[in-house]
Amino acid sequence: MKEKLTSLWQRLFGDSVRAFGVVSIVFLISMAIAPAKNFFSEWRHYQHGYLSLIRNRSEANTLQRHFQGGIQQVWLPDLGVVDRCTSCHVGLKEASLTDVATQPYRKHPAIPHNLDQFGCTVCHRGQGAATTVAEAHNSTLAWEQPILAAKFIESSCGQCHHGPLPGTPQLNLGRNLLARQGCVHCHSVKLPDGSTLKPTDDPPSLSHLADKTTREWIFAWLKDPQAYASTSTMPNFKLSDDDARDISAFLIANSTSLPGDTLRLAAKASSDASAGASLYGESFCASCHAVQNAAGNLVGGDVGPELTRVGSKVKPEWLQAWLRDPRVYDPPTAMPHYRFNESQMATLAGFLEAKTDSDLLSNVHLDAATPEQIAHGKRLVSDYGCASCHEIAGVKRPENFAPELSRIGSKPVTQLIFLQGMQHTLPDYIAGKIKNPRAFSPGLKMPQYTFTAAQIDALTTALLSLNDRSYTLPPSLAVPGRTESDYQPAGKAGKLMTDLACFSCHRINGHGGDMAPDLTWEGSSVQREWLVQFFKNPGTLRPSLIRRMPRFNLTDSEVTELTDYIMTVYQSPRIDRDSMPNSGYSPGQVELGKQLFYGKYSCQGCHIVDTKTDKGYIGPTLTQVGSRLTAAWVFQWMKNPQALRPGTVEPNRSMSDEDAKALTAFLMSQKGGEKSPRPAKAAGSFDKLRTGHGAPHEEVAKR
């Protein structure tokens, strides 16, 4: 063998001429490899396929002119983006290719951005500089981030948009769940704007728990919160019987009595079995609280806790005191002070006490707690971080109890531990950790949630949006979310509004809820007499709505205090409410406004003026709008509703002053009582329901 190799060497390199010739041939072959590889590259194959696809189309000449061969590149140095995706995806911008379903030739779906402004990897991830499918779409030894699954694409919107977006329901849901399900009580999330994500739930204080409930109920609750309330946001810590026994022992032993949080009423509940249900309905408790009906369906809101089995939980004397004034036990509660009389409190308490479940506590039998059990329970409360959510006397709230999630969307895959059979991608890891956290290690403290598959996807989407890019984007691209102010009304009226929990439903000056109308400009919009009567007996302008403002049994002096404050303080600088009269418009103006209402603007598609014939159930009824709103508000609303209520779906019709004045005259003539007939000219076309012109959540009328 050695002789053969020596002979071959002599033939090829025996002299300088031979050696030069061989080296030249090898060099030429190596030089030919690069162009040959380029000629047979994937991107060139896809470009040839695209040309074949468009060859027989009617717009082939136009598409051919738009086509640019070779490697295409988008370079955005401010974003750190180098994308060559359009080398294969050559038809992204061609509007005529809507019928093409084959990748990579499909047209890009309509988005409110220019593709050249953001490139591809800002939204889709992947390796933009790659020119092969394997390297561009998948993780490699040199690149960890594969292309993002389509179901998580909304996470990319969250990199720039820090608030809710109409087109990203999954991202919005995920962010809401992060804040509402208690995640950020344990996990810190620092947002790109420098703020910290705040929880929106309200876990109760456990410092006076023994006044409210029993140790047996606490045990059952700790073992399975959803067995008591299917809507509970409390997760299941999978506690053993002994651990649940000891924690319940500690919480009861640690509880202190609070003066005034229990009450024994002299009055008795009504003998009428339906009286409690009627009072519950008249007080619109279902606006905030859900109850499971006979069919097993939950009916009601989700602002307050579910009440299906509340009688198995609370002590009667605590419940009666809570109904008298909930702020004695929980000063920051979102529940209003109803000012029930003793008979009403007894009747409503009796109705709620009857909502029990005999099976819930039937198998709970606890012996008297020992000092050792109480001490062990306190250690468990500390170990599980219970004080991250709940106020517990003598237990300090832990700091940095769980890992920070601020940049979880960019966490390197090499730092993760995957379950057997799990795909090694970040979205799969996050989703798996949310679905079954203790599968990763039995010693983990993260509890088990009952999220649906859709909720897990939503949470994964929200967490993926918290990545390095979201913190390093140019400030010009960041779209801040709605900032919650710390506004609080002053004086006696302010105390009344706090007592009535107005901010649980209403938003004022950037603070509060969104269940009911924003009251920031209420003093400019409504007439004083209407507001007085509304406080005394709240009606509804939307008969189809379940959620309504309850009657708070206010005294005349309280009504006057609130009315004076609202009419004085909550005024818009854009509107002088006395600049237009609320009555006295000429019949000609009213008739012209009626013609515009039913004809040109088709307002009856969403609103009702004539209760016998109008079909508009989307927006508020306008039968008494002339007794409720000020003419100046109505006129400005007609001109530009978005200027008064940013985000309202009431369309801006660019109405002329003349049309706005005529419509104002017609609406201000609607004082209730006898309804004026429709104009005969348009009578043949008004029975048809017209949709798309109204405001389902905002309104010409305020409530």
Name the token pair of 316: 């009667």
Report the distance separating Cα 523 and Cα 581, nearest Å: 16
pLDDT averaged over the chain?
89
Cα separation, 655 vs 600, in Å, equals: 11
Strand partners, 39: none
- At 208 the three-state DSSP class reads coil
Cβ(342)–Cβ(324) under 8 Å? no
| Residue from 149, 114, 128, 127 nearest 74 by CA | 128
Determine the Cα–Cα distance for residues 69 and 43; give it in Å rounded to an integer.
10
What digits encode the pLDDT tens for the residues 518-572?
Answer: 999 999 999 999 999 999 998 777 766 666 788 999 999 999 999 999 999 999 9
Asked if the model's pLDDT at residue 703 lies above 60, the reply is: no
Going by the DSSP 8-state scheme, the letter that residue 574 receives in this structure is T
Tokens of 108: 């890009």
For 596, which DSSP code? I
**Per-residue pLDDT tens digits for 651-663:** 898 999 999 999 9
* Strand ranges inside 134-197, DSSP E: none
- State both tokens at 199: 């929880």
Write the CB contacts of 679 (distance below 8 Å, at least 6 apart in sequence): 591, 594, 595, 598, 599
- pLDDT for residue 677: 44
Specify the pLDDT at position 620.
86
- The whole-number pLDDT of residue 548 equals 78
What is the DSSP secondary-structure string of 313-376? TS-HHHHHHHHH-GGGT-TT-SS------HHHHHHHHHHHHT---TTTSTT---PPPPHHHHHH
Alpha-carbon span 467 to 458, nearest angstrom: 16
Task: Please give the Cα distance from 252 to 245 (Å, whole number).
Answer: 11
pTM (2 decimals)? 0.85
The region of weakest confidence among 314-323, 361-370, 565-574, 691-700 is: 691-700
Q: Write the CA distances from 118 to 75, 112, 459, integer angstroms.
A: 9, 11, 25
Instruction: Please give the single-letter amino acid code of residue 514.
Output: D
Q: What span, in angstroms and rounded, lies between the C-alpha atoms of 148 and 579? A: 57
What is the predicted pLDDT for the residue at 263?
84
Strands 298-300 vs 511-512: parallel, antiparallel or unpaired: unpaired
- 309/141: higher pLDDT: 309
Q: Which residues contact 414 (CB under 8 A, 6 or more apart)?
A: 144
**Dist CA 663 CA 639 (whole Å):** 11
Query: What CA–CA distance (Å, rounded) separates 567 from 297?
Result: 42
Which residue in 511, 530, 508 sits closest to 519, CA to CA?
508
Terminal-to-terminal C-alpha distance of the chain: 100
Task: Lowest mean pLDDT of 256-260, 665-669, 676-680, 684-688, name the range.
Answer: 684-688
For 12, 107, 233, 281, the CA distances from 534, given in Å and listed in that order, are: 106, 55, 35, 18
- Give the pLDDT mean for 257-270: 84
Residue 275 has pLDDT above 70, yes or no: yes
Q: Is residue 700's pLDDT more than 60?
A: no
From the CB of residue 575, how many other CB atoms can be counted at a distance below 10 Å?
20
**How many other CB atoms are there within 10 angstroms of residue 635's CB atom?**
21
Lowest mean pLDDT among 84-93, 290-299, 541-550, 663-672: 541-550
Please tell me the predicted confidence (pLDDT) of residue 247.
97
